[in-house]
Chains A and B, each alone.
Chain A
Amino acid sequence: MALLEVTDLKVHFKTDDGIVQAVDGVSYTVDRGQALGIVGESGSGKSVSSLTVMGLTRFAGNAEISGSIVFDGQDLLSASDEEMRRLRGNEVAMIFQDPLSSLHPFYKIGDQLVEAVQAHRDVSKAQALDRAVEMLGLVGIPEPRRRVDSYPHEFSGGMRQRVMIAMALINDPKLLIADEPTTALDVTVQAQILDLIQRLQRELDTAIVMITHDLGVVAEVADDIGVMYAGRIVEYADKESIFAMPEHPYTWGLLKSIPRLDSPRGEELVPIPGRPPSLINKPAGCSFHPRCPYVRDAHKRIDPQLAPAAEAGNGGAHKHEVACLLPGQSRRALWAALRSGGTPDQALARVDVPDTVVDKDAVGEVLAPAGTEVAEGVVATAQPEPPTEEGAS
């Protein structure tokens, strides 16, 4: 049984401007000791989904949560506030992006660590302090017995993040959620922290959910990767598949638009045009379609579901799911053109993407009208209705 199973999670916030569909039907699993990477940019919903697992979204007051979150056999969404409180910092822990603002500036770190222990364990202050010193040593803080009396602002950025990690792991949680833990840190410090997280994961057998926008970080740390866009997971696969054979145009866009040390220096960056969509008024059909170079008419009307990307030669060993209406064959041909250095326009010129054919599995419950020809693996869409008024555009 998986340690964490999230199924069709939806988190909508009621605001004065409308309903913000922050998380709009997200499903993923994390096994014991495993690392899941969630990749996305701001507004993708990656943080909100994890905050909901921790039960922290309940404090917002205007959140509507539906779906299911099962952690170690327990249903979290129907759990009481007290039950969730007992899980937080105990079985499931979370570390955040900015370690300076995430630690209380007025209390010594020793006190903050002791607090974390005594919230869940019936031990004396001295015992809790011993545990705190032990953890600080484990995360590589020199002279831990002396440094428990220091305040957060007396540490450097990297040290502070280590303190946060120590605080999160102090009660031996089964799952650690790390939300952009290294984004605010220098690159050499980032390497230290990632190294530390991986080492602790191995030693303590903790499962990890690593949330980041940095594809390099997940390439190092994650086993499986979920790519999020506009509140949904648009691609979900093991790490190797995501990088070797990505199937979603957004993933392609990310891979093509980031400068990398391992690609030729002169190669042009291909940005994804446009901006991430509003979560209040999401685009109709596929939420990525306004920015997708390969968009077809049908994509503006049909909302793709996450479906298996059937691949030749994979043999079903690893799960690879994608939410895209383009037929699998076309996708693979497009990526082949892109990875050899082509731009989306060049790829489109070389690959024939049929206009009215979409991936059957991605369509989900939207059915083609009666009488449409259904070919194997693909379905033909109905022609768009002709405009009823003259001159309608």
Chain B
Amino acid sequence: MSTNGATKLIEVTDLQMHFPLRQGIILQKQVGAVRAVDGISFDVFEGETLGLVGESGCGKSTTARLLTRLLEPTSGMIVYKGNDIAHSSRAELKPLRRDMQMIFQDPYSSLNPRKTVGSIIGEPFIIHRLERDDDKRKKLVQELMDRVGLNPEHYNRFPHEFSGGQRQRIGVARAIALKPKLVVADEPVSALDVSIQAQIINLLSELQRELGLTILFIAHDLSVVRHVCDRVAVMYLGKIVELAEADQLFDHPRHPYTGALLSAVPVPDPVLARAKQRQVLGGDVPSPTNPPAACRFHTRCPKARDGVCNVDEPLLEPKEGGNIAACHYPLTGDEIAKRVPTAAV
């Protein structure tokens, strides 16, 4: 889906989230910080599915929590409907919570085991005082259950009586109960069996079409992201390193980290597997308390050049093919073809 002419739902500018590290005997002084999100800017357009990918510690989950204001950012702006909500108070945020909902990763721990399914899905109505009448609310909840593929007769059952996939459906039902504008799905299918993942992915797509949802889809599984998302942002150590339409990103990734990610994904095709010269990225992700200078990726990048990559921080700029990437030496067509046999270059 092209973003030309689409309206922006959320505009994020220079968002930062630093978790302080303190030390001291009586007075705890801040000695450093975990720079989980270190200055990212992007837009979320209405109706699109924006994917946010990266590995552990890249800051994608923190970004999700910042957008829904479960966390207050250290600095930066989050503009929603013309207002900067980055530092809004709880009272100011409450009406916005109807518009922004979250689906969580672990279907086993994100549902209160002591509440029935009916009361879990019905809670949003109570919190926002939308349907006080118990019977009417029950009807609404049962409609929702049916919509997500659950049996409405299980209204009074408890989470432990459902399977993982069904529990995730409960989470989805709760998230869409108030017809939000934005749904942030934080790894919604990672904890599910392979044959169930497709069910949930299809469900989310259907609901998006039906309700006109905007979805921020956070995942580490690139195959899933490619399937579900219109645009994708790749994060590394708290920064966005590449942002592009899904076709562009997967057909010709420009940032070497994106290339490494795609190269690493094992493809269920033995022929392709043999043909691929996989680029194995050495070493570990550096600590977010002490990220490398300038380009964060330069310590592991096969294309890094001393004097450039460790001195000048690259800006997010358009590269060949339409991708926006932060890199001094983006991948060439040849490099992509060798390492990512699934790319169309």
Contacts and interface: CB of A to CB of B under 8 A. Distances in A.
Interface in B20-62: 55-56
B267 interface: yes
Contacts of A261: 222-223, 226, 250, 262, 265, 267, 342
A195 B278 contact: yes
Given A269-B202, A271-B198, A275-B163, A215 B268 contact: yes
B194 interface: yes
Given A42-B193, A191-B281, A265-B227, 17 more contacts: A41-B193, A186-B220, A186-B285, A187-B261, A188-B55, A191-B278, A194-B266, A220-B270, A255-B268, A259-B198, A261-B223, A261-B226, A262-B267, A265-B226, A265-B246, A271-B202, A275-B165
Contacts of B265: 187, 216, 261
Contact of A219 (B197, B261, B269): B269
Interface residues of A, number: 44
B247 A268 contact: no
Contacts of B220: 186-187
B264 interface: yes
B195 to A, nearest CB: 4
Interface string B230-273: 00000000000000001100100000000011111111111111
B268 A219 contact: yes
Contacts of B222: 187, 261
27 contacts: A186-B56, A187-B221, A187-B222, A188-B55, A188-B260, A214-B266, A215-B268, A219-B272, A220-B270, A240-B270, A243-B270, A258-B268, A259-B198, A259-B227, A260-B223, A260-B268, A260-B269, A262-B342, A265-B226, A265-B247, A269-B198, A270-B198, A271-B196, A271-B198, A271-B202, A272-B198, A273-B199
Nearest to A159: B284
Contacts of B227: 259, 265, 269
Contacts of B341: 262
A272 B200 CA distance: 11
B226 A216 contact: no
Interface in A164-191: 186-191
Interface residues of B, number: 46
B264 A190 contact: yes
The 5 closest A-B pairs by CB, nearest first: A216-B266, A271-B198, A191-B264, A259-B227, A215-B268
B223 A213 contact: no
Nearest to A275: B163
B70 interface: no
Interface in A194-216: 194-195, 213-216
Nearest to A229: B195
B224 interface: yes
Interface string A236-277: 000110010000000001110111111001001111110110
Contacts of B269: 219, 243, 260, 262
Interface string B272-288: 11000010111011000
A217 interface: yes
A158 B264 CA distance: 14
B201 interface: yes
Contacts of A41: 193-195
A261 B227 CA distance: 8
B277 to A, nearest CB: 12
B272 A253 contact: no
A157 interface: yes
Given A261-B223, A269-B227, A271-B195, A188 B270 contact: no
A192 interface: yes
Contacts of A260: 223, 267-269
Interface of A: 41-42, 156-159, 186-192, 194-195, 213-220, 239-240, 243, 253-255, 257-262, 265, 268-273, 275-276
A270 B285 CA distance: 36
Contacts of A240: 270-271
A192 B266 CA distance: 12
Contacts of B268: 215-216, 218-219, 243, 255, 258, 260
Interface string B312-344: 000000000000000000000000000001100
A187 B221 CA distance: 8
- Which of A214, A215, A220 neighbours the largest number of chain B CB atoms within 10 Å of its CB? A220
Contacts of B250: 261, 265
A261 B342 CA distance: 6
Contacts of A243: 268-270
A215 B260 CA distance: 20
A139 to B, nearest CB: 13
A272 B197 CA distance: 10
A62 B197 CA distance: 33
Given A255-B268, A269-B198, A188 B56 contact: no
Nearest to B228: A259
Given A191-B280, A219-B270, A268 B195 contact: no
A195 B280 contact: yes
Given A42-B193, A195-B280, A262-B342, A257 B198 contact: yes
A260 B266 CA distance: 9
- Which of A158, A213, A240, A260 neighbours the largest number of chain B CB atoms within 10 Å of its CB? A260
Nearest to B58: A186
B223 A259 contact: yes
B55 A192 contact: no
A258 B223 contact: yes
A144 to B, nearest CB: 16
A291 B191 CA distance: 21
A211 B221 CA distance: 19
Contacts of A275: 163, 165, 196
Contacts of A188: 55, 260-261, 264, 280-281
Contacts of B261: 187-188
A326 B245 CA distance: 43
Nearest to B278: A191
A257 B270 contact: no
A263 to B, nearest CB: 9
Contacts of B224: 259
Contacts of A255: 268
A6 B247 CA distance: 46
Contact of A217 (B165, B197, B221, B266): B266
B263 A258 contact: no
